[in-house]
Amino acid sequence: MIKRALVLLFLFALGTLFVELLLNYTPDTELNQTGRYYAEHSAQDIGTANITTAIIVTYRGLDTLGEVTVLFLTAAIVGVLLGRGNHKGKSLQRKLPPSGELLTTGSYLLVPLILLLGAYVFINGHLTPGGGFQGGAIIASAILLMLLTDPLRHFSHSLIAAVESISGLFFIGIGVLGIFYAGGFLDNRLLPLGELGALFSAGVIPIIYSFIGLKVGAEFSSMLVNLSETEDT
């Protein structure tokens, strides 16, 4: 009971803090300095219609690199913890009947569409909402639908690892090329900026975002596949 009282006390303190914050908060009516800079300059400097994309890929490109690294580490830790390869042959022996005909046919119909939507989301990341992370999550959702339809489906681990590492390599390679041929690491002006609103615009941002999308999709997929190949304890 004393633990619960402590918890309530802590939450009460936190709540008071929040109320204090809320009472003293005055909403902005104008953009602050950074926001104004991004709003005014990203169209000419970066050439993206979606300013969030400009921030993620170029202005704060190193943060994104760090984020991708964190995801990579997470996927690796999940893989190590679950120890795939130890019971590769055994996992296929689980006795599960297949799902009903409707779900099977429906998933065959929907999976290509989900993959197409994922590709659309990350290729158009500089024009419409979305980008590499969303597209990667959508692609992983397609893998998830396959797993839900048939939990025993076997996926090629080495293919997922290959997609992940190759796209990561190209992401960094493009960033390094930017040091030599453009303004700096992950500078997008390797290619001409093009016209605002066209698909081939904003320099290398669509290419970078495609690689990020493939990488994130492969990372999430490897987490899903690793988890699904664990044994029923």
Contact 31, 39 (CB under 8 A): yes
Residue with tokens 């303004």: 183
Where in 39-58 is the site for other proteins (CB under 8 A)?
39-40, 43, 49-53, 55-56
Whole-number Å distance between alpha carbons of 184 and 181: 8
Q: Is residue 131 within the footprint of other proteins (CB under 8 A)?
A: yes
Considering only 169, 179, 183, 192, the residue that binds other proteins (CB under 8 A) is 169
Per rule CB under 8 A, is residue 192 in the interface with other proteins? no
What DSSP element (H or E) covers 109?
Answer: helix 101-123
137 binds other proteins (CB under 8 A): yes
Q: Does 207 bind other proteins (CB under 8 A)?
A: no
Which is nearest to 216 in space by CA: 150, 109, 130?
Answer: 130
How far apart CA 129 and CA 189 sit, in angstroms, is: 22
Q: Is residue 233 at the binding interface for other proteins, with CB under 8 A as the rule?
A: yes
* Least distance in angstroms from the C-beta of 136 to other proteins: 8
How many residues line the site for other proteins (CB under 8 A)?
A: 114
Closest distance to other proteins from the beta carbon of 189 (Å): 18
Q: Which residue from 58, 26, 29 is spatially nearest to 45, judged by alpha carbons?
A: 58
Q: Where does residue 87 rank: exposed (0-12), middle (13-18), buried (19+ CB within 10 A)?
A: middle
Told to check if 28 binds other proteins by CB under 8 A, we report yes
- Which residue lies nearer to other proteins by CB, 19 or 183? 19
**129 touches other proteins (CB under 8 A):** yes
* 87-106 binders of other proteins (CB under 8 A): 95-97, 99-103, 105-106
Residue 188 near other proteins by CB under 8 A: no
Identify the residue among 20, 86, 88, 153 touching other proteins (CB under 8 A). Answer: 153
3-state class of 202 per DSSP?
Answer: coil
**Token pair for residue 19?**
């109320």
As a whole number of angstroms, the distance between CA 203 and CA 185 comes to: 14
**Does 195 sit near other proteins (CB under 8 A)?**
no
- Using CB under 8 A as the binding rule, whether residue 25 contacts other proteins is answered as yes
